[in-house]
């Protein structure tokens, strides 16, 4: 018997950051809990916050989060096209997990038909292996000037006959204009695909908005499937850097009874989710810093990953951060670098092919005796190894376009044992002889509770008792709990039975897949 194609549901928005990703994540978890094989899908993502799949492909973090919520292994088919901005007008283009080159926006949007076909191929492969696909759109689905080139919203939804639920954000104001206005500007064939509305981020008493719901339903002739209340205590990884705004350059003073960590918020910061486990530690204060300030009250300063390392290195010099970091390190401060931050800590970054702009080289901070040469080939791997200083197991992923070689006066940081499940035996990263300055290509360094504990005790041994663990919970287990909480919250505020009826899921065989 031939397996039926998966049913698709498209979650589109009235604008950017109205909550499409979180609605899709919640639906992935809810329908997974109801016994369906669910997969997320977004035809094109734009984000520097990416992830490496088990097969060694690169994809956007939003669909990784949704895959985790659905209880399935992330795959590049869930995000077939990824744009990683590296200049104000250009991006690196990743298709089916592999880099195909850099494009400026003008050239990229001349024709998107080939990328639409690649995305459709991915979607059809997912439909062959799952019961339900939760599709997510991008930005506003009502951008009339972009419609002919937009394949992320209605074009891909219409191609598979997916009903559309339109999400509006009441917290930003103007939700009536958002919803009714969007429906007014889209063409009839797109409007006919919209089957309902979700109003997101509501605050206050729901009964006071019943007349608002009635007005929307009368004006649109569509059901409002839910008035979703804003939540505060459920922690889900976000798609991009927006949440960093709330914790950048805080004014509150640091206290000596905590481990104080600073992460520099580079202009092209990438993979800032490396530091999410640190934010959850009860003994840690984590600050993202953009404006130059005194660093001496911080126990550890980290230079994060960057999508344009040479540009961000120049920014450090222009703002005065470079001199501040060198002084901090030479006075005995603990300073780490991950990926692009690792390269910045070295003596030179060579760019003979113009990978990040003009051909040339940049002089690094000179705090580690290493040199990096940028190459067109991109290293993409899920990696495992041993953190040599404390012999803790470390597991992470690598995304970089540079080869870094040590010169002298360094110790290797990690002995790599496998990449993409193939046995390896080489070193990654370096550290100074006193261990206070270090750099690595491993993203996800702080996910492991054991290694995280030892790294925290290294920078400030007087805060945590030697027999205490900062957090005994595995980071994956923590995230899994958050997805359950998210599902409970959304089931309280959405009419899931009505959405199920819209999708006609009754006859599908239920089978929960294992991760």
What's the rounded mean pLDDT across residues 197-212? 95
What average pLDDT does the structure give for the chain?
Answer: 91
pLDDT cut 90: percent of the chain above it: 74
- Rg of the chain over all Cα atoms, to the nearest angstrom: 24
Strand, coil or helix: 393: strand
Do 68 and 179 lie in a common domain?
A: yes
The Cα–Cα gap between 81 and 94 comes to 6
User: 219 or 282: whose pLDDT is higher?
Assistant: 219
Asked whether residue 192 is assigned to any structural domain, the reply reads yes
> Which among 472, 490, 374, 468 has a CA at the least distance from the CA of 30?
490
Do 297 and 424 lie in a common domain?
A: yes
* 75 part of the active site: no
Do 212 and 274 lie in a common domain?
A: no
Is residue 337 within a helix (H) or strand (E), and if so which, with residue range?
Answer: strand 334-338
What's the rounded mean pLDDT across residues 399-416? 87
Phi and psi at residue 422, to the nearest 5°: -105, 135
Long-range contacts, stretch 93-98, CB < 8 angstroms, 24+ apart:
94/50, 94/58, 94/59, 96/57, 96/122, 97/53, 97/55, 97/56, 97/57, 97/58, 97/59, 97/380, 98/57, 98/58, 98/378, 98/380
What's the rounded mean pLDDT across residues 14-23? 95
Do 153 and 126 lie in a common domain?
A: yes
Asked whether residue 84 is assigned to any structural domain, the reply reads no
Do 345 and 198 lie in a common domain?
A: no
The CATH number of the domain holding residue 31 is: 3.40.50.300
Do 287 and 402 lie in a common domain?
A: yes
Do 206 and 288 lie in a common domain?
A: no
Q: Report whether pLDDT(47) > 90.
A: no
Choosing from 287, 339, 400, 493, which is the catalytic residue? Answer: 339
The pLDDT score that the predictor gives to residue 272 is: 85
Do 294 and 221 lie in a common domain?
A: no
What's the rounded mean pLDDT across residues 13-21? 95
* 443 part of the active site: yes
Do 445 and 485 lie in a common domain?
A: no
The pLDDT score that the predictor gives to residue 253 is: 86
Asked whether residue 107 is assigned to any structural domain, the reply reads no
The Cα–Cα gap between 274 and 444 comes to 5
Containing structural domain, residue 26: 7-45+61-73+112-235+478-503
Q: Which of 34-48, 92-106, 309-323, 427-441 has the lowest mean pLDDT?
A: 92-106
The pLDDT score that the predictor gives to residue 513 is: 46
Any idea what DSSP says for residue 443?
B
Q: Report whether pLDDT(208) > 80.
A: yes
The pLDDT score that the predictor gives to residue 512 is: 45
**Count of structural domains, the chain:** 2
The pLDDT score that the predictor gives to residue 268 is: 92
Asked whether residue 249 is assigned to any structural domain, the reply reads no
pLDDT digits (tens, 9 = 90+) for 432-447: 989 999 999 999 999 8
Highest mean pLDDT among 394-398, 472-476, 511-515: 394-398
Do 226 and 304 lie in a common domain?
A: no
Highest mean pLDDT among 9-13, 104-108, 464-468: 9-13
The Cα–Cα gap between 265 and 288 comes to 6
The Cα–Cα gap between 490 and 198 comes to 11
261 has which bridge partners? 286, 300
The pLDDT score that the predictor gives to residue 237 is: 80
Reported confidence tier of residue 102, pLDDT bands at 50, 70, 90: confident
Asked whether residue 170 is assigned to any structural domain, the reply reads yes
Q: Report whether pLDDT(95) > 60.
A: yes
336 neighbors 455 (Cβ within 8 angstroms): no
76 neighbors 96 (Cβ within 8 angstroms): yes
pLDDT digits (tens, 9 = 90+) for 440-497: 999 999 988 889 989 999 999 877 655 444 445 677 888 999 999 999 999 999 999 9
The CATH number of the domain holding residue 452 is: 3.40.50.880
Choosing from 268, 443, 489, 493, which is the catalytic residue? Answer: 443
Buried b (16+ CB within 10 A) or exposed e, 32-53: bbbebbbbbbbbbbbbbbbbbb
The Cα–Cα gap between 390 and 356 comes to 35
- Give helix 61-70 / helix 475-493 axis angle, nearest 10°: 80
Do 314 and 223 lie in a common domain?
A: no
Do 356 and 388 lie in a common domain?
A: yes
């Amino acid at each position: 018997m031939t397996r039926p194609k998966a049913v698709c549901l498209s979650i589109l928005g009235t604008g950017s950051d109205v909550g499409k990703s979180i609605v899709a994540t919640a639906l992935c978890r809810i329908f997974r809990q109801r016994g369906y094989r669910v997969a997320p899908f977004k035809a094109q993502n734009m984000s520097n916050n990416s992830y490496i799949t088990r097969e060694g492909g690169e994809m956007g973090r939003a669909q990784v989060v949704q895959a985790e919520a659905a209880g399935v292994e992330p795959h590049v088919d869930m995000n077939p096209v990824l744009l990683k901005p590296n200049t104000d007008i250009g991006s690196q283009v990743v298709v089916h997990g592999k880099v195909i080159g850099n494009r400026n926006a003008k050239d990229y949007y001349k024709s998107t038909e080939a990328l639409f076909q690649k995305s459709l191929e991915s979607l059809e492969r997912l439909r062959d292996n799952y019961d339900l696909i939760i599709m997510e759109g991008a930005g506003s689905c009502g951008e009339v000037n972009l419609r002919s080139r937009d394949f992320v919203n209605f074009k891909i939804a219409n191609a598979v006959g997916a009903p559309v639920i339109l999400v509006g954000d009441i917290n930003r104001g103007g939700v009536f204009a958002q919803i009714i206005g969007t429906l007014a500007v889209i063409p009839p064939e797109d409007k006919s695909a919209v089957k309902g509305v979700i109003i997101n981020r509501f605050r206050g008493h729901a009964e006071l908005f019943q007349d608002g719901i009635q007005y929307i339903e009368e004006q649109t002739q569509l059901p409002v499937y839910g008035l979703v209340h804003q939540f505060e205590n459920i922690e889900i990884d976000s798609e991009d850097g927006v949440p960093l705004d709330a914790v950048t350059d805080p004014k509150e003073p640091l206290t000596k009874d905590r481990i104080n960590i600073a992460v520099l918020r580079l202009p092209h910061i990438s993979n800032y989710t490396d530091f999410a486990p640190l934010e959850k530690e009860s003994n840690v204060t984590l600050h993202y810093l953009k404006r130059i300030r005194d660093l001496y009250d911080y126990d550890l300063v980290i230079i994060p990953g960057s999508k344009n390392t040479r540009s961000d290195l120049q920014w450090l010099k222009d703002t005065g951060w470079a001199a501040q970091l060198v002084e901090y390190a030479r006075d005995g401060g603990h300073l780490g670098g991950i990926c692009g931050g690792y390269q910045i800590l070295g003596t030179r970054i060579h760019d003979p092919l113009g990978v990040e702009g003009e051909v040339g080289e940049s002089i690094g901070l000179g705090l580690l005796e290493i040199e990096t040469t940028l190459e067109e080939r991109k290293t993409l791997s899920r990696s495992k190894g041993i953190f040599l200083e404390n012999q803790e197991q470390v597991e992470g992923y690598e995304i970089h376009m540079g080869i870094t070689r040590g010169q002298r006066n360094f110790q290797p940081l990690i002995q790599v044992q496998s990449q993409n499940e193939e046995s390896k035996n080489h070193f990654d990263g370096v550290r100074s002889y006193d261990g206070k300055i270090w750099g690595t290509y491993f993203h996800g360094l702080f996910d492991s509770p054991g290694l995280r504990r030892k790294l925290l005790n290294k920078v400030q041994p007087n805060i945590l008792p030697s027999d205490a663990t900062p957090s005994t919970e595995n980071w994956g287990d923590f995230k899994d709990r958050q997805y359950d909480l998210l599902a409970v919250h959304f089931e309280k505020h959405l009419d899931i039975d009505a959405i199920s009826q819209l999708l006609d899921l009754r006859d599908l065989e239920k089978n929960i897949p294992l991760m």
